[in-house]
């Protein structure tokens, strides 16, 4: 079962990379065409700040039932450089698990359809200090992404897929340190988000994400060195201002 999940995720990740390369070439050709059918993205009126809650369902084979669900506060902010390029910063935390990420995006629209290519660099760290237990850890993950969405008028739906690549991990237990630097495919993820206006200049978001990868920052306390690929679903809800 685990090998089947891993093989399936590798195929998905390879497809994502191929699509990213193809769409990058397409976007370059489009940008060179003065008669392009793709319109400039109107981002000035879109809300840029997101505050919400993420709930992860951890694999029961790795953790106890008491800690199988992890809620995390999440804050995102998007800075629009121009009509096509933007930077997205994200912070999430529940004390023992914390992440900080920066993602660059290139975007273009065709009528009510939108498409985005990006790359996310995520730094994560965790800590757990109690009687007889003093552990800290941190790491880096790089994720090329592709997103697509459609504006139905009263609501918007978007989907995002990414391929996760391991870069670095440090694990400290007391005075002992284990450090690993490498570059390899550690998994993939896909998410779907529903966005609906609730009041002036604010939108409500409800989303779901499925990670298929090695357990990383999600279950570092239980399985800090596991290489088995697992499925980790997430639920996201919040408000964009």
Predicted confidence at residue 20, as pLDDT, reads 47
What predicted TM-score, i.e. pTM, was given to this entire model?
Answer: 0.76
Range of the domain at 23: 2-240
- Report phi then psi at 208, rounded to 5: -140, 140
| 6-37 residue pLDDT tens | 555 555 555 555 554 554 444 444 333 333 32
Here the CATH number for the domain that contains residue 151 is: 2.40.128
Strands in 81-112 per DSSP E = 85-93, 98-110
Measure the CA–CA gap between 78 and 69, rounded to whole angstroms.
Answer: 28
| 147-184 residue pLDDT tens | 999 999 889 999 999 999 989 888 777 777 777 778 88
Predicted confidence at residue 115, as pLDDT, reads 94
Measure the CA–CA gap between 186 and 215, rounded to whole angstroms.
Answer: 9
What is the chain's mean pLDDT, rounded?
78
Task: Count how many domains the chain has.
Answer: 1
Statement: residue 206 has pLDDT above 50: yes
Structure tokens given for 174: 């007391």
Measure the CA–CA gap between 114 and 104, rounded to whole angstroms.
Answer: 16
Collect all residues with Cβ–Cβ distance below 8 Å to 104 and sequence separation of at least 6: 85, 86, 87, 88, 118, 119
| 51-72 residue pLDDT tens | 999 988 877 666 665 566 788 9
17 versus 45: which is more confidently predicted?
A: 17
Statement: residue 131 has pLDDT above 80: no
* Residue 224: band (very low, low, confident or very high) from pLDDT cuts 50, 70, 90: low
Mean pLDDT of 206-216: 87
Predicted confidence at residue 191, as pLDDT, reads 94
197 versus 8: which is more confidently predicted?
A: 197
Identify which of 201, 205, 226 has the alpha carbon closest to the alpha carbon of residue 214: 226
| 8 A C-beta contact, residue 125 and residue 97 | no
Letter string b/e over residues 181-195, b meaning 16 or more CB atoms within 10 A of that residue's CB: eeeebbbbbebebeb
């Amino acid at each position: 079962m685990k090998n089947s999940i891993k093989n399936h995720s590798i195929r998905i990740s390879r497809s994502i990379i191929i699509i990213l390369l193809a769409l990058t070439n397409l976007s370059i050709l489009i940008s060179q065409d003065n008669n392009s059918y793709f319109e400039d993205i109107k981002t000035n009126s879109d809300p840029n700040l997101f505050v919400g809650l993420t709930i992860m369902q951890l694999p029961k084979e790795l953790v106890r039932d008491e800690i199988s669900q992890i809620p995390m506060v999440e804050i995102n902010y998007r800075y629009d450089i121009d009509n096509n390029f933007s930077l997205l910063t994200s912070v999430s935390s529940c004390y023992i698990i914390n992440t900080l990420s920066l993602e660059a995006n290139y975007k273009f629209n065709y009528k009510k359809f939108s498409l985005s290519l990006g790359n996310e660099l995520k730094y994560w760290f965790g800590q757990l200090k109690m009687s007889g237990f003093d552990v800290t850890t941190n790491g880096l993950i790089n994720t090329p992404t592709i997103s697509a969405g459609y504006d139905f008028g009263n609501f918007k739906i978007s989907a995002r897929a990414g391929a996760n690549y391991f870069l670095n991990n440090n694990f400290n237990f007391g005075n002992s340190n284990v450090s690993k630097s490498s570059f390899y495919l550690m998994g993939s993820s896909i998410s779907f988000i529903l966005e609906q206006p609730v009041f002036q200049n604010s939108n409500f978001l409800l989303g779901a994400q499925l990670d298929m990868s090695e357990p990383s920052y999600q279950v570092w306390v239980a399985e800090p060195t596991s290489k088995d690929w697992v499925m980790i679903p997430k639920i996201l809800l919040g408000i964009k201002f």
